[in-house]
Structures are given as structure tokens and as C-alpha cells.
Amino acid sequence: MSQDSDGVLSDFQSYDEDSDGIHSFGSEPEGYGNRVSRGLGANEFMREPDGKIVFKVGQEFSTLQKFRDMLKDYIVQEGIIIRRIKNERVRVTCSCAADGCRWRIHVSPISGKSTYKIKSYTPDHTCVRVDQVNEANLVWIAKKLAKNLKANPDMKINGMQVELKDIFRIECSQSRLYRARRRANEILEGDHGKSYEKLTTYAEMVRRTNPGSMVKIQLDRVTINHQPTFKMLFFCLDAMKQGFLARCRPFIGMDGCFLKGPFGGMLLTAIVLDGDLGIYPIAFAVVESETKDSWNFFIHCLHSVLGNVRDLTLMTDRQKGVLLAIEEILLEANNRYCARHIYNNFRVNHSGSELKTHFWRASRATSVHAFKYEMDHIKKHDSKAFEYLAKIDPSTWSAHAFDKSVKSDHVTNNITESFNGWLGMQRSKPIMTMIEFLRRKLMTRMQKRYEKGLTWGGRATLRVKRKLKEIGDKSRFCNVVFVGGPDYEVLDDNVGYVGNIEKRECICGAWQITGIPCKHAMAALRYKRLELEEFVDAYFTKEVYLKTYSHLIHPIPDESMWPALDLESINPPSLHRRPGRPKKNRRREANESAPGSSRRSGSVRCQRCKQYGHNKRTCQGAPAGSGGRAGRSRNGRGGGRSGNGRSGAGRSVGRRRETNEGTQSSVHNTQGSQSSMFVEFSL
């Protein structure tokens, strides 16, 4: 039997005889063709079926780095600490660092080949296993837990520690786990800084695959010789633009939200509503901060894409920058202010549940009479509160004064808040990853909603049909007074409401503002046996809905398949690192509670003694009433029933009565001192 210079079987003979000297004929080892193509013999290193690493003399590796990787996994698997005797470019020799342990391995290249072989190996371990292994550094942890973090991006540090303990039986410090999670995110999503370098090529790919789309990047260049720095980006796909111009309601909500990556920034969005009352993003922009310049850039690009939209209404949060930009660029657009933000400023000096109730009723009032009624109540309660609201144009925050051609009664900017929530954790991803997520999400949504719309029957969209049913249920309590012709009169709580079916009007104003029949009009339509769906506005029809989603967003190939383009790369924006740990949660308003928490106020009443000022856990008194159970005394004795005519042993009965008398006196004093106490607490 021929042997090589290291005393092991040659490559040729190893195919014909296994390690036990038993010849095998008629079949080739699994993966034999792949091994030959890589220049390896049948002794190529392979993990055991259960994933365990077992080294043997004669195992081969295509590169020395592959052996080093397997060695690191083996060290973690066995929980040992090694000493590298030789760690050179062409050979590695290691031994166990524990005293008395004979484990040793040596790998070097095969003569005349570019492969490496284990030429000597002592497998026995006599040392004690350790839980903290230095080889499990942040790079190793990031590679091993990358799939887990991809499946569960919200995995906490404690969860990572549990995974390492269960799978690899090792422990790591929290600081190492934090760095490993950051490195794993870079492996899965890409580097935040390098993501900006690809923006120019990505913009060109969008223009090629989706003609008519607009991707505009504004750069900041110090001198002609310096590489430009990213400043702003505007993104609008042609399909989304065409869908809006196909006859979506001319009502656009605009808002900004913070980006949570290391470079910060803001995401400005323009959102509309489709015919089924669902959110429909038109465009977005990534800017450094929410200033007049950034809003000017965003609105200018949006105007150049959409052109002059008739009867356009913009909903904003009354930020100074966006209002100035609208006044300069969109002169003919109508403004609406989010009523929630108006109320947050209003309640700073004018708080109270009554003012809050009348404010929101005035904001949602669909008729002048209802608006004046609520404002008069505010004036009676607080004249300064009335003066504060009177300074704000009603057409910007009260539904009765809205432009009736828009067919929208939205008084808040919740459609943009819904989009921000829909975006979720993508706001912390690299800019390219976030944009691609939005493009794929919108691409899928366009197709799914179009297919869903094809299945509908009737004239109106699905959610509008449900809304008609809800309004129809309320209209059953209205009484119709017959008039004849298109006019009608309906009694609702003994109040008469008149309108005209042909003109689609009702004196309550809701039909004209929303485009959907109100309950008074619904009662008249049902009285005349007319088809309800024929009286909703064209914005809410299936035909318009399908036109909105009939346009396609075309896919973009992976960046590894992009052609080589001679375009200038971009530097990321300046990194402004603030002191302290970066905040991930949204900044909440002064009186806004955290999600999952509730707040209530009231006086605390004990369920045991029925007195105020304490709860059952801290109660030290006897139960209320003569037939209740007595509380335990401090020495652990007592209990039983008192005042029920029963008697036991004289000594125990006497002690029980004495205890109850003392506690009854204590309860009386507590009630007297706590009668005016009001305790406010939060859960």
C-alpha cells in the first residue's frame, strides 16, 4: 500500500479503501464530482450528519482559511482554549492551552497541490470545558445568528444569549452581543454608509425599468475636486403618479417622520386615499431635517410630477416650514390643519373634558348650525378658549367649511401616521434597503388590490358598501315625511332635515362633504326604493378604483446584476452623534401615554373594609359589617367570626374581641382622616 511523505494513504488508494481497510466497489462517494472539480480527493473535510465537527488525519481543505473557520467552530463546540504554535500563511499548528492536555493538530499543504491536509492530530481532551470562549467573537456570533436575526429582527440581547447557550453552550458579554447584532444587521441589510454610494446607480436603474418615474438627488459639493455628499432625495414611481391622476380624490396628507439609522434624517411623505378608503402613497423624500428648504424641495418636486391638480387640498400639521413652502409653490391649494395638533396646542391653556368634547364636535360638525352651537358652548365655558379658536380659519379645521368637491371629511392627518406605522422598523435600515422595501411593497400592493377589485360586484367599492350598511342601520330610526319629487324631509329625534336627491344635498351637510349619503338621505332613498350605490360619488366606484391600480410597478434586478455605469458615487451625510444612547421610540406628546399602558384617576377604595384611602393589600382594619371575616392580627393569630353569638374557648374569644375592637377603632380614625383624600394613579 503506497503512502505519501506524511505516512497517510495516497489520494488514489483512499478512493478504494476506507479507514477500516474495507474495500468498496461499484459506487462513488457522495459529492465526488464536486470534489474532483475543486481539485480535492475523497478525504475532503465534511461535517457529520448532525453538524458536529470531527477532525481526522488525512482530511483535506481547499484553502487554509476554511480550516481556520472549522477550527474556530470546533473550539466553540468543545469549549476549549487553544495555543497557536504556528499560524503562518501556509501552515497551522495548535495545541490545547490547558496544562496536561495532549490535544494537538497540524495542517500544511500537500506537495504539488493547492490543498491543505491534516497531517498529524491528537484528538484526546483531558481538560475541563469552559463556557466563555474567546474564539466566539462578534464576527463569529454575527455569522451564526444572522439567520435567527433575519427571522426575528426584534430579538433582544437576552434572546441572543439564550440562543448561544442552547445551541453552542457558550456565554458572552452583553457589549459583545450588541456589537454582534449590529454586525449581523450589516451582513443582512448592508452598510449604512456604503448604501449611499449606490444611490446614483439605483436611480438610473429605476428610470430604465420604470420610465416616467422621478428620482431626484440633491448633493452638497464643497469644491469640484471633492466627492459630493448626500443632502436630499425625492422618489416617485410612475405607476403611483398615474394611479393618483386616474381620479383619486385631490386630498393629500403630508407629514414627516424620523429615520432611526446612524445618519438620522427625516422621511417626508405624500399620502392620498383610494376609492376603497385605503392609503395610497404617491411620493416620499429623504432629507436631513424638517426645514423650509427640505419642504420646498419636496413640494417643488411633487408639483413638477403631478402638475396643476384641480381643487387640491393639503393636510399638514401646521409646521412653519411646510406652510411657507405651500404658499410659495402651490398658491391655489387649500390648506387643512390636523385637528389633533390644534387641540394639543389648545389644551395647554384650555384643558378640561367639556372643552375637549365641544372642540371635537365643532371640528367634525358638517353644518354651520352645528359648528356655531358647539362654539357657543365653548364661549360660555371659557371666553379665551373661544378667542383662541376664532383666530384659526374654520376652513382649515372644521368639516362644515371644507371644499365640498374634495369629498373628504378628514379632520386629522392619520393617513400619514398609518403609513409611518406601516413602514415600521424599516426606518432604521440603510437607505437603499428602505427604498427597496417600499418599492417592493407598493409593487405587490398594486397587483393584489387590482385583483381584489376585479372580484367585487356592484358599483361601489367594498368598504363603501360596508359604510352604506352602517349608515343604513342608523337611518331606520328616522321618519320620512313624503314630499314628492326629488325633495325630502326626514325627522331625526323630532328635528326636521330637508334635502334634494337629484342635487345630492342634505341640510346636515354630510352628503355634500363626504360624497356618501347621510342617514337622512339614506332614509329618503330607501323610502323611494332607490338603489343606494347609485348615489355615492364617482370617487368611490369600482371603475375608478380599478383605474387607480391598473398601472404596474416593474421589478428591478438585484444589484449584483446591474450593468457597469460610469456614475459618480456619493458620500453619506455628516454623522451627528448625539450624547447618550440613540432613541428608537417615537417622541410622544406631553399627555400621551405609552402603548400598552392605560391611565385612570379616582379614589382608591379597599375591597375588604370598604373604606377609602388604601387598597386590600395594605388594609390593616377589620372587614366591613358584623358578619364579615376578621383580619389577622400582627402576631398571626385571630380570625374566626365575631358578633354572631357563637363562643369558643374563653381565652381565645376574649383575645378575638379585643383585637376586633382595636381594629374597628383604627378603621374609624382612617375614615375620618381620609374622607377628603383623592388619589390619582396610573397602571
Determine the pLDDT at residue 592. 58
CA 240-314-307 angle, 5° bins: 50
What is the rounded average pLDDT for all residues in the chain?
A: 82
The residues near 534 (Cβ < 8 Å, ≥ 6 apart) are 459
Written as nine digits, the cell of 34 is 464536486
Question: pLDDT tens-digit profile of 442-455?
Answer: 999 999 999 999 99
Instruction: Bin 352: left if φ > 0, else alpha if -120 < ψ < 50, else beta.
Output: left
- Short-list 204, 336, 216, 330, CA closest to 283: 216
Confidence of residue 625 (pLDDT cuts 50, 70, 90): low
Kindly tell me if the per-residue pLDDT of 320 is higher than 60.
yes
Kindly tell me if the per-residue pLDDT of 588 is higher than 70.
no
Give Cα 151 distance to the centre of its chain. 15
Determine the pLDDT at residue 374. 96
Written as nine digits, the cell of 40 is 480535492
Confidence of residue 428 (pLDDT cuts 50, 70, 90): confident
Kindly tell me if the per-residue pLDDT of 1 is higher than 60.
no
Half-sphere exposure of 513 (CA within 13 A, CB side): 20
Sign, CA torsion 321/322/323/324: positive
Kindly tell me if the per-residue pLDDT of 297 is higher than 50.
yes
Confidence of residue 657 (pLDDT cuts 50, 70, 90): very low
Question: pLDDT tens-digit profile of 109-167?
Answer: 998 888 999 999 999 888 999 888 888 998 999 998 988 888 888 789 999 999 998 98
Determine the pLDDT at residue 470. 95
Q: CA 655 to CA 148: how far, in whole Å?
A: 65
Instruction: Bin 496: left if φ > 0, else alpha if -120 < ψ < 50, else beta.
Output: beta
Q: CA 44 to CA 58: how far, in whole Å?
A: 9
Which uninterrupted H or E stretch holds 84? strand 82-87
Written as nine digits, the cell of 402 is 371644507
Kindly tell me if the per-residue pLDDT of 543 is higher than 50.
yes
Determine the pLDDT at residue 42. 72
Average pLDDT over residues 326-340: 93
Indicate the burial class of 426 (C-beta count within 10 angstroms; 0-12, 13-18, 19 or more): buried
Confidence of residue 483 (pLDDT cuts 50, 70, 90): confident
Residue in the structure block whose three cell numbers are 429615520: 259
CA 513-519-524 angle, 5° bins: 110
The residues near 624 (Cβ < 8 Å, ≥ 6 apart) are 608, 609, 610, 611
| Residue 505, helix vs strand vs coil | strand
Kindly tell me if the per-residue pLDDT of 227 is higher than 90.
no
Kindly tell me if the per-residue pLDDT of 579 is higher than 90.
no
Q: CA 501 to CA 416: how far, in whole Å?
A: 34
Question: pLDDT tens-digit profile of 94-113?
Answer: 999 999 999 999 999 998 88
Which range is least confidently modeled, 8-22, 156-170, 307-321, 322-336? 8-22
Radius of gyration of the chain (CA): 37
Q: CA 270 to CA 607: how far, in whole Å?
A: 53
Confidence of residue 221 (pLDDT cuts 50, 70, 90): confident
13 contacts 2 by C-beta, under 8 angstroms:
yes
Question: pLDDT tens-digit profile of 235-262?
Answer: 999 999 999 999 899 999 999 999 988 8
What are the CA-CA distances from residue 145 to residues 10, 52, 68, 130, 161 (Å)?
Answer: 39, 17, 19, 21, 10
- Short-list 308, 309, 307, 305, CA closest to 213: 305
- Short-list 268, 525, 375, 424, CA closest to 533: 525
Question: pLDDT tens-digit profile of 348-379?
Answer: 999 899 999 999 999 999 999 999 999 999 99
Strand partners, 107: 92, 118
Determine the pLDDT at residue 591. 57
Question: pLDDT tens-digit profile of 38-91?
Answer: 455 578 899 999 889 999 999 999 999 999 999 999 999 999 999 999 999 999
Kindly tell me if the per-residue pLDDT of 2 is higher than 90.
no
Half-sphere exposure of 83 (CA within 13 A, CB side): 9
- Short-list 674, 679, 678, CA closest to 611: 674
